[in-house]
Amino acid sequence: MNQDQAEAPMQEYSPHAPASAAEPEGSEVHAELNREERKPVKVGRALLLLAVAAIALAYSGIAGRHRDDEKLNQWTQERAVPPVAVVTLQRGEKTRELVLPGNVDAFYTASIHSQVMGYVQEWRKDIGAQVHQGDVLAVINTPELDERIAVAQSELAKAKANLALAKVTATRWNSLRASAAVSQQAADEKDSDQRAQAAQVDAAASNVDRLKALKAFANIVAPFDGVVTARNVDVGSLVKAGENDGQPLFTVADIHQMRVYVPVPETYAAQLQDGMKATLELPEYPDRTFEATIATTSHAIDPKSRSLLVELLADNRDGLLAPGAFARIHFVLPPDANAFRVPASAIMFRNNAAQVAIAVDNRIALKKVHILRDLGTEVEIAAGLGQDERIVINPPDSISDGEQVRVTQAAGGSPQKSAEEIAQTGREHEE
């Protein structure tokens, strides 16, 4: 063994030294060397992948939290906008019914007072009696008037006697004047005295006639055909000429046709015309109605009640309508093309005016309206709104003009839904 062979095993192995020619490539030593060389490379790659994954995970978490924050902010802003429920306007009815209270009165009513003073000798007609014109209702005993008539007749007799004497005297003095036995002045005086006595006779006769005519009023008679509705005297009652403590002796009413008086609010004054038909309802006849026709109006607005007095005529052939009765009068008014119906919950009262809130592009616009009729759950308002406008129902008290809102119920929904159902739907959306 030479020196080179002896020193070969003593060479230090270096992992990076190339394999010697004595070691083939497929040997185990060569494979081990390759594995040792690749090991640091795999560890570095693993660390790099872990770092990239950590960075990606951190970025994903930050981005997700940012998106959640944006969603939360958007949700908060949306919830900060108040939700409102809206409905579309509905046209008024084709025909409108106006119901007003009224008073039924007789066609004619006469309060009969006495024109003479005396005592009631008898009354012949009681309340409810059917009477004809000229029928005697009561007879009054008038002793004082009878005495005055007797005195007046005596004065008439005296005046006639004086007239007879004046005639004889004037005739005699006129005959003496022809023989110049008396002066012309004296004859003229006698003629004048005759004319004066004739005038006295006429005055006394007129006084007697006046008292006799007054005596005729001792019989209280009916002024027209009708029914006695009141009797305020009895036999022996003292009556005076004129009013007796403000009460009439009798009241007679003509009820073949009745007058119905209705105060109509000024709003409807122009819509009621002569000849318009109406229907009467009376509490005592709940299952029956009576027809009436507008006869005239007062053509003036009462400044106290701001109403127009309307008079209607109703036939009363069966006598069921009674004077003084209360009635509900139903008028059928022509349709108003400019009237709309909205839920009563949509009306707000601010500054002594009725207003409604309209949703326009998710903004509130407040408009003043004029209420025509209160229909209970709905109200009918006059012109000023468009058919396609959306009315907010149950608006909050704090709602203001220009405020942004969130519409929770689209207008023009199911027509079967009521305003309350729409409001409930809005509340559910809000929740």
φ and ψ of 353, to 5 deg: -140, 145
Strands 118-123 and 136-141: antiparallel
**Positive/negative CA dihedral, 341, 347, 351, 357:** negative
Residue 261 · residue 103 · CB < 8 Å: yes
pLDDT of residue 152: 92
pLDDT of residue 325: 94
Residue 133 · residue 223 · CB < 8 Å: yes
Residue 408 · residue 429 · CB < 8 Å: yes
Strands 348-350 and 353-360: antiparallel
**CA–CA gap between residue 263 and residue 305 (Å, rounded):** 9
Strands 340-343 and 90-91: antiparallel
Token digits of residue 111? 């309060």
3-state secondary structure 45-69: HHHHHHHHHHHHHHHHHHHHHHHHH
pLDDT of residue 42: 67
Q: How far is CA 89 from CA 64, 230, 346, in A?
A: 46, 55, 11
Token digits of residue 216? 């005729």
Q: What are 231-236's contacts with CB under 8 Å, separation 24+?
A: 231/123, 231/125, 231/126, 231/127, 231/137, 233/120, 233/123, 233/138, 234/120, 234/123, 235/120, 235/121, 235/122, 235/123, 236/119, 236/120
The conformational region for residue 319 under phi > 0 = left, psi -120 to 50 = alpha, else beta, is left
Maximum separation of any 2 CA atoms in the chain, in Å: 235
Residue ranges per domain, the chain? 26-72, 83-92+338-430, 109-231
State the Cα angle at 175 between 174 and 177, rounded to 5°: 65
For residue 242, give the DSSP letter: B
Alpha helices in 217-294 (DSSP H): none
pLDDT of residue 262: 96
pLDDT of residue 418: 40
Does the domain at 109-231 match CATH 3.60.15.10? Answer given as no
Token digits of residue 360? 């326009």
Give the pTM: 0.57
Residues forming beta bridges with residue 367, ordered by sequence position: 356
**CA–CA gap between residue 293 and residue 275 (Å, rounded):** 6
- Chunked into runs of 10 residues, the chain (431 residues) has average pLDDT values of 43 44 50 58 72 74 70 63 76 77 94 91 93 94 92 92 87 77 78 88 93 92 94 90 79 94 91 92 93 94 93 93 94 79 82 80 80 78 74 80 72 41 46 45
pLDDT of residue 277: 94
Token digits of residue 343? 């839920």
**CA–CA gap between residue 399 and residue 182 (Å, rounded):** 117
pLDDT of residue 66: 67
Q: How far is CA 385 from CA 219, 380, 427, in A?
A: 69, 12, 26
Report the CATH fold assignment for 83-92+338-430. 2.40.420
